[in-house]
Amino acid sequence: MENLHKVGGSLKRLHQAEQFLWQGKVDETLALFEPLRKKQAQVFCNYVRKHRHRIVNYDYYQSEQICSIGSGAVESAIKQISRRVKISGAQWNESNVPQVLAHRCAYLNDLIGMQR
């Protein structure tokens, strides 16, 4: 979105592009700006083409409540894992890490219960 608003121009076009990007519709977004000759529009199109694999349908994920779409939850999880890895005296076998992460994800998604 940051790069989108650098393009400027028609507010209607910018709003439509926001909706398309929120829904992961990269080709539709590009179709709005490719005919334009302004340098900012071409830079934006190049950026979207380069990063199209990272543009997901956020609208779907949010409506299905699949995951948090904010980066805060991800950054927090990374910090927690980092602290666990650095526990004094802990030894980690690299081949066990995927299983540990899978268990952690299952727990956080209420797929397994904690016995107390």
Domains identified in the chain, total number: 2
How much is the pTM?
Answer: 0.56
Contact present, 38 and 54 (Cβ < 8 Å): no
Question: Distances in Å between the alpha carbon of 77 and those of 28, 53, 84, 100, 108?
Answer: 34, 23, 11, 13, 10
* Structural domain boundaries, residue 42: 4-63
CA distance 80 to 73: 11
| 81 membership: H or E segment, kind and range | helix 71-85
Q: Is 85 among the domain residues?
A: yes
Name the more confident of 4 and 19. 19
Convert the pLDDT of each residue in 59-80 to its tens digit.
887 777 776 666 677 677 778 7
Examine the domain organization and report whether 59 and 84 are in the same domain: no
Examine the domain organization and report whether 8 and 50 are in the same domain: yes
The residue type at 99: Q
Examine the domain organization and report whether 79 and 50 are in the same domain: no
Examine the domain organization and report whether 24 and 40 are in the same domain: yes
CA distance 47 to 34: 12
Q: Is 84 among the domain residues?
A: yes
Convert the pLDDT of each residue in 91-106 to its tens digit.
777 888 888 888 878 8
